[in-house]
Structure 1
Amino acid sequence: MCENNGYSSTATVADMVAGTIVGRAVAFGIPAETVDGMDAEAVAAVARKHAERARAGGGPAFLECATYRFDAHHTWEHRSFVRYRTPEQVDEGRRRDPVRIQGERIPDAERARVDDEVEAALEEAVRFALDSPKPDPADALDHLYATGLRPRAGVSTHA
């Protein structure tokens, strides 16, 4: 599965890739398909089809999920002010927000109930955080790694 958000770090995939993403899989004899990656139900249906085919002995498949990246590839872009897409392009991409797409499939009353439940959970989380004691900066790196390993002294963990 390839989540193709249309961009490399600072350029369009179209400018960086010869041919197509699915064409690379097809060249190796692997069935490949592109699906609207912003539509969770469409992705689930195509993934289910290829999973069933694989389980039946049909071998692997390649699924390209065409999505849109709303924000920078990494924080460097925010500091460097590199611009490889216009604000209008980002606005257009945001109109295809997967949360909105799925939300529009839910009846209004059910959606309002879920929204209220989420708001209540968020309010409780904020209250808990604000009412909790402030953390000790000396412990900030504890549990950073599953192994318990701490970064070397003098190494900055901030970008």
Structure 2
Amino acid sequence: MSATKKVADDATKTTQDATSSAAAAANDGVERLTQGMSKFGSLGQENMEAFMSSLTTMAKGFEKIGQENMAFAKSQMEAGSERMQTLAKAKSPQEFFETQSQIVRDAFEQQISQTNKVSDMMISTVREAAQPISKRYSVMVDTMQAR
């Protein structure tokens, strides 16, 4: 009986060890899965925050661009009456057409300058708005590569 008891005890111990190992492995797996899900959850939240930051930057940038365009339009309207007065003071058709040509050249140069200014503002706004998303993309790539 003692040999049978020893075999039974060994079998019981082996079963208990295997059960303990399986339970530990399962607990470890669940813990790692939970940590991973938590990490991806926080990554998702951080991504959303970066996206909202980007949208806020874009909105502020477009607001500034709109204000700039309104200020330019206002200045052009005010300058328009001055231009008309200058044209009205012309003493001859030649002077009228020379003045008109100069006014058109000036207006064209001002429009080009304004277009360049607004383009620069747009590029700056988009570049600034892209930074939070670009940083989050780098974090996501690093996180995925680490797995």
Tell which structure's C-alpha radius of gyration is larger.
Answer: 2
TM-score by length of 1: 0.20
**Which one has a larger percent strand, Structure 1 or Structure 2?**
1
TM-score by length of 2: 0.22
**Which one has a larger percent helix, Structure 1 or Structure 2?**
2
